[in-house]
Structure 1
Amino acid sequence: MKMEIERAVVINLDRDSQRLERFYQALPADWPFPRPERFSAFDGSRLPCPPWWVAGDAAWGCFRSHQCVIEQAISDGAQSLLVMEDDAFCHAEFSTLFKAFERELPIDWQWVYLGGQHIQREQGLPIRISEPVYRPFNAHRSHAYAFRGATAMQMVAAHLHDRDAWGEKHHVDHRFGELHAEFDGGLYCPDRWLIGQEAGFSNIKQKHLDANFFPDARSFYDLRIDHPVIAVVGSSHRQRMIVAAILHRLGISFGTARPPEAIAEAPESYCAPGFDSVCDHLVTGQSWNLVNDQAFRVAHLRMWADRRLKAAKNEMPIGATHRKLALLYKDVQAAWPQTTFIAIAGDDERIGIEAVHDRSVDSAINELASGAKVHCIKKVDFDAPEQLVERLAAMVGVEFKPADVATAKQLAISLCRNA
């Protein structure tokens, strides 16, 4: 569908004439919309803030500027509106990308982000509508967005006025984002951001920022992890931590922390910073339910592995462990195709809801083992720590340095003795 825009506006402070000139010069020769009219932005350094506003003067000026642009369009009866900030700049392939997006844009569109940042990704990711079109869960930033129809503009304007419905510390783009998850109209964004934010001094952050295109909607799904991953699963925290610490000492990166000298010193998932948060977001509630759909869970596992690989900076496998990880085994297999599973036998020590969770973990491991190769570690194996190290090295299938094996054995002796 053709994305027709009746009114286009660029928000610009009077003192930032150079930014405005740069903005206009950077517009593509085949810019598909009306030339943006300059809106003289409210200067937060001169405009008194209400006593309840605590986000800063510059943010107040920004808030009022966007609010007035939208309200003026409503008052004038404009049927569509494109709002840009003067630090917006177009992708080098803007025309080609925009035409592909426009062709697939659903006929019901009411609110479109041409540039932005996808936030709250642990709660929701953009949903694919077609190859070039997604529906954002929460799009942050306000440098390039568009409305069509009075309904969407009035809804946003009303929300900006309803101070009781939102907190006092957030900026206008946060206020927009609050509406996205519950907005029942046509809210869309491109698979690749078409408009980024130019380098320059930020009046809001009071510092120089580099030019930036934030991660695209499709990037969360396009990641591919073609690297070995060692997944240590099982309900026993203590024994999982011993195995993870041994593997970490051998050279399998479970994180940046050093293995503990005593396993009692190791908090949950000490060896995989952030991974406990990932698992807790993907498996929730007392019943340990998997959240969202598989594509969402697989994307988060891939994003975590991508971050770990960049931090590890070597060719060795990376490692992951968490009590809930076994329940995600199907997602793990989809996210990390080269996964080696090491399962720790349960200890049957807990009662109540914890015992229910343990049974869920054990059941998931049994399901996994029925269709894939799983290396099993039993409680008795921890009575022979040096042999345990040798078994783990063989399971991983990596030729470790003799010195690393020796120090891993020393660690294993200490951990198994103190466990």
Structure 2
Amino acid sequence: MAISLFAVGDVFIDRGDPQGAFRTSGEFLRTGDVVFGNCEGVFSDEWDRAPTSGPPVVAPNVNARRLAEAGFHVLSMANNHIVDGGHRAMLSARTMLNGLGIRTAGAGPTYREAHAPAIVERDGMRVAFLAYSSVFPRGYEARGLVPGLAAVRAHTHYVAPDPNYWDPAVQPQIRTETLPEDADALVRDVEAARRDADIVAVSVHWGDMFRAFVVGAHERRIARLAIDAGADLVLGHHQHMLRGVDFYRGRPIFYGLGHYVFDLPDLPRRMAEDGVDLPQVRPEDDVTLHRYRDTYELGPREGYPLLPFHPDGRLTGVAVVRVDRSGITAVGFCPAVINADNDPIQVAPDSEDGKRVLAYLQEACTSEKLPVRFVTPTPDAGLPVGSVQILPTGATV
């Protein structure tokens, strides 16, 4: 018996009418046997701003209910906003989501609980989700009996490309070194989950949100470390734009699922409260950006009041993984385009919008030398209508 795991990137509802979220996309999500996303903020009516947070991403408790209605079964809480409202708000949000029937992973009242998996059972099959963050303000990590998130941190070093030359202002090489204690904890967590579940998925909040396509050494290293420890699937998010897909030891790695429904309203006002001026970004500014060279700006976009990201961030979709007790049987992706209401609309792969999303995803793979191809699903793949099947280059169906 095979089941379908659906996974999306960042989700968060912060609007006057929360019922308007997932108005179209929820119907598709509810067809998944297990649906996963990253809760990119805190739902709380009583909160205190964390001293190290940026503008807090916090919304009223009532908004969380819509995530359950949209079909989510598991949410990661390991990200750079989950402690924005302080420990009390983080823990109350976790309790509330659990009360709505949504399992959570990646944050908790203690280090041990933050590292515990969320386990969902379907047709006698146990699926475990572990969640971590590599991007967050200092102090958000769980420590001993201190609440927080499960961290996979890395030190970053900027090194001259040729140590034999004095060459001021030359572009440096960027090297990252994962903290050994975090890497060791990840391995222990995966090995423990492997003993208790049929399928293990690892989610990590990571990457550079201001550059398109790029997949850093830290992401590649941690993804492989998780799979070597026994994970069947790796899910990345944070970058707010799609990243490429890879296979390692036959297991899929989605390096970045972008965002799906992520409301970020009133950003100029919120930034101004922190003393930062955030001007409107003109359409011509976005058009002239070079995807391989320039950094992307965060700022309001005309016509998209809830989504202050580059138009590339409107290209999204749902990762679909078919699994049975033997492991993964098929991997796919269902493209979607986010409209002005901040609702992702599923689009057919052969439609104009579908081709645009898939061309972007293919370029994300090609630019980072990730050898995969997208094909029409075989009838026995079990992938939903509106998806493409993803295969390693050279693999046959």
Give the TM-score normalised by the residue count of structure 2. Answer: 0.24
Give the TM-score normalised by the residue count of structure 1. Answer: 0.23
Larger proportion of strand: 2
Larger radius of gyration: 1
Larger proportion of helix: 1
